[in-house]
Amino acid sequence: MNIKKIKAALECILFISGDSVPLKDLSALFDIDKTTLKRIINQMMDEYEGDERGLRIIEINSSYQFTTKPQYYEYIEKLFKPRARAGLSQASLETLSIIAYKQPTTKANVDAIRGVKSDSCLYRLIDKDLIKEVGRMEAPGRPILYGTTENFLRLFGLKSLSDLPDISNVQD
């Protein structure tokens, strides 16, 4: 299969999937090594960014997805009139930050860092698909371990958790 056909097929797959598609799955599908396929996808990403197009391809945890470009949101908003979505409260942002940097972590750990109970914040963040249960701690009571979701990365424009800002220099 030539590169033009691979790019066309990738467009179809990314468009139809709606969600991100792992590079390993695409590599197996096309029977192409990951390095070569990643090069092809990066070419496509550059083409979409360079052209005056409303779509772009983003990378999230070695997976790829079509998204709309943020500068065209106003047009989408006018046509589809999305329901009002409440933003995140200061408490929810604190809770999300702790989970993002300390994951996997427990509710008790979040509460200890914040100094207050975080139940409602956790429920809100789960409801908004920003955090999820990632397992159970091997300790008495087997408390739930929380981590961030792919939606968290997408919302904050991160390719992976390693793109989080370094907080080692932040002072209290």
| Cα-based angle 161, 163, 165 (whole degrees, multiple of 5) | 105
In angstroms, rounded to a whole number, what is the distance separating the alpha carbons of residues 153 and 161?
A: 7
pLDDT at 116: 93
| Tens-place pLDDT, residues 146-158 | 999 999 998 888 9
Cα–Cα separations (whole angstroms), residue 131 to 11, 86, 151? 29, 17, 9
pLDDT at 85: 59
Its pTM stands at 0.67
What sign does the CA torsion over 139, 105, 130, 39 have?
A: negative
- Cβ–Cβ under 8 Å, residues 162 and 168: no
In angstroms, rounded to a whole number, what is the distance separating the alpha carbons of residues 148 and 105?
A: 10
**DSSP-assigned letter for residue 161:** G
Cα–Cα separations (whole angstroms), residue 88 to 107, 163, 171? 18, 21, 24
Asked if residue 170 has pLDDT above 80, the reply is no
Q: Write down all domains in the chain, each with its CATH number in brackets.
A: 3-76 (1.10.10.10), 90-163 (1.10.10.10)
Cα–Cα separations (whole angstroms), residue 127 to 121, 155, 160? 10, 14, 21
pLDDT at 88: 85
pLDDT at 83: 60
Lowest mean pLDDT among 99-103, 133-137, 164-168: 164-168
pLDDT at 73: 85
- Cβ–Cβ under 8 Å, residues 160 and 149: no
Per-residue HEC secondary structure of 82-129 comes to CCCCCCCCHHHHHHHHHHHHHCCECHHHHHHHHCCCCHHHHHHHHHCC
| Tens-place pLDDT, residues 65-118 | 999 988 888 888 888 775 655 678 899 999 999 999 999 999 999 999 999 999
What sign does the CA torsion over 68, 157, 71, 51 have?
A: negative
| Tens-place pLDDT, residues 16-59 | 998 899 999 999 999 999 999 999 999 999 999 876 889 999 99
pLDDT at 86: 64
Cis status, amide bond into 104, omega within 30 of 0: yes
